Structure formats: structure tokens, C-alpha cells
Chain A
């Protein structure tokens, strides 16, 4: 008989760490940066309890490449950082995507550009969803909105990474990383989606030697173009299978808030407030940022819905919403930058004034 769920009071950062451990992650390399430090500290304690490896690396560059090494050796591996540190990791993420290795990268976003500040932000959406490093590649990007989802999405990220041999990024704002909420999970939860890794370098015992690489100098079927075509086929497959969206009271909605992460929670509260006033408002909250739910949003647009995109950025996801809607008159935007939090009153005012 399975034991009932245990409830904890946890920060998002620590929930993320525990989710990784429960998914069977036994290799973590990180580097100090606010607001993700609770995660690194948590892993330094827990990895030893689980006989895993924790390394405080000499840099973000080293950390992501240690993850490359652990992953190519067959392990479930993770690194985490916040915006400026994620910029440094982008080279490594590109190599991981090119060599088709699974890896989980956590970005607890802070304000930029440059050193910016340490307040919550969502200004790394472009970087996360459009590639980030050099070359034509995609990372699967998951966007939790609660401490519970910090655990759940990180747990799921490892199966996704293994399934597609692809980097998976957890993209959360600093507020989600540092706030505390109840977290519940089955204490007997086991890693899921464990599949054989015949590509892993384990020593050429009883088989031909393997190589892992992103360099493609060959021609014909070994050419870089063919390699890229195969990658693009994989990305299309991910787009077909892995989109996750929460639709909240959208069935009869005339106006729809589109948001993810912390603004998703604010949006939900706006929907409830305005529904009490009799306004037909709904919310599309994205759980995957890439793949992006273009078809779902287009369907709502074809039904005649208008959209207000709310982000903690100058307007990044709104570009994808516009691509989905194909009618700029139906899409408006409200964003805060540099640590500002979108306000419920402003969202409601914008929705009431429009149309």
C-alpha cells in the first residue's frame, strides 16, 4: 500500500531540488547566484545523503560542462542558475543540444540586462524559448507557477530530457524560487521514464567504441545539414506531443489573460474578481513555453476572443501570442520590468477599458 502524501512547507528552490532527487538525479553542479542559492545549498546537503555528486563549480561554464560530462556518462544531471549565469551556460546548452544529450537546467530569473538586480523577472523568455546559444536548436521550456509545480515540473523534466535526448529548462521567476508554500508528494515516489541509454559512454566493453560530438564535418547522411534536419524533425515531434496549457474559465470568455509563472497566478485572481462582476474573462496559463500552444490560442482567437498578455518583461511572450492570433488589434500587453510586479488593479482596468 502506498503511503499517503507528506506535506512540507518549502521554498520553490528547495522543491525544485527535491523534485530532481526524486526523479533520480544524482549529479548536480552549480555556482552561487541570487535568487537561486537555496537550490544549490539544498543540493549540497541532499546529494550526499543520496550518495550522489554535488560540485560547487569554478564557474557557470564549468558547471554546465560537468553536466555535459555526467550526462554523456549516462547519469541524470542538473545545473541551476539565475539570468546572468544562464547567459554563461548558453554555450554548453548549445553543445548539449548538438550532441543530443539529456540535461535539466534551472533558471530562476532575475532582472536584467547585465547584472540588473536580484528581483523577480521574466526577461529571459526569448533566450530560453528561441534557442539561447548559437545554432538552430530548441530547449524544452517548462514554466511552473507554484512551489508544488516547482517539484512536479522538475520531476517530469528528467523523463522529457531522456525521452528526447534534449536539454529541458525550468524557467521560473525569482519570486517562485524564494517564496514558501505547502508542497505535497508521495514519499515513495520513484524515478519515472527510465529508459536504456545505448548512446552513453561507459567504456567499450563488449561493443564498438562510441563517440559523443556536436562537430559534423561529414558529407551526405553524416553532414551537418542532415544532422540539423534530424534535430528539426525531433523538435516538430516535441511540438506535436508535449504542449501543456492550463485553460481557466475560457469556455465562454470574451477576453483572455495570457501569462505564465507568477503573473499566471495574478491573472487567475483577476479572472475570479471580474467573474464576480459578471465579466466573461478567462486565463490561458502556459505550462510549456516551448513548445508554445499556438493552435490553442489561435482557436480562441477564431472564436472572437481578445487577449491581454501579462509578463514581467518588456513584452517577449506577447510576440508568440501575436503570431498565434494573427491580428494585432486583438492582442494587448501589460508588462513590468526590473522587479516590478504586475498589479491586479491595472490588469482589471485594462480589461474593462478595452472593447
Chain B
């Protein structure tokens, strides 16, 4: 009997720097499995963000560039226009995508750039010490919302996917989570659909993944999973938000 579960060829054989219970390692692996299954490792160019995933190029076994904070979709636009037949995707956190890079996200979508965005939403700035993100949910305590996020002072959680849905250039949006094997499989299916759509030249798509950050949520990995199921999903409902033919 052969091995049924191995390291994807698209993943380097190295340890990652991620904290125990962090979702990034899982999402990295899922992406690599999809790239292997689509057999596009040698024709993929990824854009890593500023944030916890900035070192993704040390873990992925395909071409990857860094981008300035939030400018990730602009860098991907430049790459894709030069290599329209390559798979070009960005990997972004909520600070990168929904705060400093909001304009780049919206306008890449509005131009209908034929790229994929993998958006990992854990509701905090992990790399800098767990500060409040635009996606932090109401009532959540962070390093910069010590009295919890209050709508009257800190505003509301930003629902980027729902905003993007109104743009005609955006063709596929799905929000998933990493709370159980079933949901992980759904996440993998969503990423695969996004990549396949790009390879079929169907245009801009984005997958948002609700991901745990035990370190800055002050919870254990298991408690973090429960928090997504019990609290985060109420603000960010999972499922297909938009899918054009």
C-alpha cells in the first residue's frame, strides 16, 4: 500500500514560523495541494503580503514575490499583464487587504483583473502584536481596542466580500472557514474553483478564509476554532457570495 498523505510537491520541506494553532500553515498547504492537482507549479507566480505570511516564499516551491503593504493586488496586476497565461494569485491578510490596501483590492476587482486573491481573515494584525484590524468584530479586545471594539468609536467590522460583490468585474466570491475537516475541504474546493476560473480566463475572484489566531485572541487552538463557529461566523457568514457563469 502506498502513501495516501504526503507533502505536496509545491511545498518546501521546511518548518514554518507560524504559531501553534495558526491557520496560515493550513491555507499554505491547501494552496499547494491545489497547485499540484492542477499541475501548474511551474507556471505559477504568487504575491506574498506584508503581514504574518510575508515569508510565504520560504515555504512555497514556486515563484513568489513580496509586495509593499497593501499594494499586493497592484503588483499582481503588473505580473499578470506581462504573463497573462500564468496563474497569478495574491495571499493577503485583513490588514493588508482591507485597511491599507482597500483601494488596490477594489480597483483590481473593478478592472476585472484575471487574478485570484486568497484573503486570510483572522481579525487582527498578527505580525505587529495583535492590533485591531478593520475586520475585528464588535466586542473584541485587541492591543489597540483595550475597551473592545465599539461601533461608536472604532466603527464596524468591514465586510469586504459583500462590498466587492456589487462590482461587475468581480466574478466569484466565496467565504469559508477552517473549523473542521469538512470546512477545510470546502476551503480547498473554493481555492481550486478560483484558480480554475482564472486559468479559464473568467476574471477576478476572491476567497476569504476565516482563520484562527490563538496567540492574539488569547485562546487555545481549540477555543479559537469554537470562537469562529460561535462568534465570527455571525458577522461573516460563510458560503458562495457571488458566482458568475
A interface vs B, CB < 8 Å? 27, 29, 53, 55, 57-59, 61-63, 65-75, 77, 91-92, 95, 99, 201-206, 209-215, 217
In the complex formed, the residue of A with least CB distance to B71 is A65
In the complex formed, the residue of A with least CB distance to B42 is A205
**Chain B positions within 8 Å of A214 at CB level:** 66
Q: B228 CB to closest chain A CB, in angstroms?
A: 30
Separation of A213 and B47 alpha carbons in the complex (Å): 10
A203–B63 CB distance below 8 A: yes
Q: Mark B77-90, 1 if CB is under 8 A from A, else 0.
A: 11111110010000
Partner of A27, one of B58, B82, B106: B82
A62–B71 CB distance below 8 A: yes
A70–B63 CB distance below 8 A: no
A215–B66 CB distance below 8 A: yes
Separation of A348 and B21 alpha carbons in the complex (Å): 75
B61–A211 CB distance below 8 A: no
**Chain A positions within 8 Å of B41 at CB level:** 204
B62–A203 CB distance below 8 A: yes
A73–B83 CB distance below 8 A: yes
What are the 8 tightest A-B residue pairs by CB atom distance, in nearest-first order?
Answer: A69-B78, A65-B71, A211-B57, A65-B74, A70-B78, A58-B107, A73-B82, A69-B75
A66–B74 CB distance below 8 A: yes
In the complex formed, the residue of B with least CB distance to A210 is B63
A211–B65 CB distance below 8 A: yes
**Chain A positions within 8 Å of B81 at CB level:** 27, 53, 55, 66, 69-70
Separation of A75 and B84 alpha carbons in the complex (Å): 13
Check B43 for interface membership: any CB of A closer than 8 A. yes
B83–A204 CB distance below 8 A: no
Separation of A205 and B77 alpha carbons in the complex (Å): 21
Separation of A200 and B48 alpha carbons in the complex (Å): 16
Chain B: interface residue count, which band? 35 or more
A29–B78 CB distance below 8 A: yes
Partner of B65, one of A55, A62, A204, A213: A213
Partner of A77, one of B45, B60, B78: B78
Separation of A215 and B64 alpha carbons in the complex (Å): 13
A62–B107 CB distance below 8 A: yes
Separation of A74 and B47 alpha carbons in the complex (Å): 15
Q: B164 CB to closest chain A CB, in angstroms?
A: 14
Q: A65-B75, A72-B65, A203-B45 are in contact. List 19 more A-B contacts (CB 8 A).
A: A27-B82, A55-B77, A58-B103, A62-B77, A62-B107, A66-B75, A69-B79, A69-B80, A69-B81, A73-B45, A73-B79, A74-B82, A91-B68, A201-B79, A203-B42, A203-B63, A203-B86, A212-B65, A215-B54
Q: A127 CB to closest chain B CB, in angstroms?
A: 18
A213–B57 CB distance below 8 A: yes
**Chain A positions within 8 Å of B80 at CB level:** 69
Q: A334 CB to closest chain B CB, in angstroms?
A: 40
Q: B241 CB to closest chain A CB, in angstroms?
A: 23
B interface vs A, CB < 8 Å? 41-45, 47, 54-55, 57-58, 60-68, 71, 74-83, 86, 103-104, 106-107, 111
In the complex formed, the residue of B with least CB distance to A72 is B65
B63–A209 CB distance below 8 A: yes
Given known pairs A62-B107, A215-B54, the reply for A68 and B83 (CB within 8 Å) is no
What are 17 of the A-B contact pairs (CB < 8 Å)? A29-B78, A58-B107, A59-B103, A62-B74, A65-B67, A65-B78, A66-B78, A66-B81, A69-B74, A69-B81, A70-B78, A70-B81, A72-B79, A73-B82, A201-B45, A206-B42, A210-B63
In the complex formed, the residue of A with least CB distance to B67 is A65
A67–B107 CB distance below 8 A: no
**Chain B positions within 8 Å of A27 at CB level:** 78, 81-82
**Chain B positions within 8 Å of A201 at CB level:** 45, 63-65, 79
A95–B62 CB distance below 8 A: no
Separation of A67 and B45 alpha carbons in the complex (Å): 16
A205–B43 CB distance below 8 A: yes
Separation of A215 and B79 alpha carbons in the complex (Å): 20
Separation of A71 and B67 alpha carbons in the complex (Å): 12
Partner of A92, one of B45, B68, B111: B68
Q: A80 CB to closest chain B CB, in angstroms?
A: 15
Given known pairs A69-B78, A69-B79, the reply for A204 and B63 (CB within 8 Å) is yes
Separation of A27 and B103 alpha carbons in the complex (Å): 21
Separation of A204 and B83 alpha carbons in the complex (Å): 13
**Chain B positions within 8 Å of A66 at CB level:** 74-75, 77-78, 81
**Chain B positions within 8 Å of A67 at CB level:** 78
Separation of A65 and B111 alpha carbons in the complex (Å): 16
Given known pairs A99-B66, A215-B54, the reply for A209 and B74 (CB within 8 Å) is no
**Chain A positions within 8 Å of B79 at CB level:** 69-70, 72-73, 201
In the complex formed, the residue of B with least CB distance to A69 is B78
A75–B82 CB distance below 8 A: yes
Separation of A284 and B17 alpha carbons in the complex (Å): 56
In the complex formed, the residue of A with least CB distance to B70 is A61
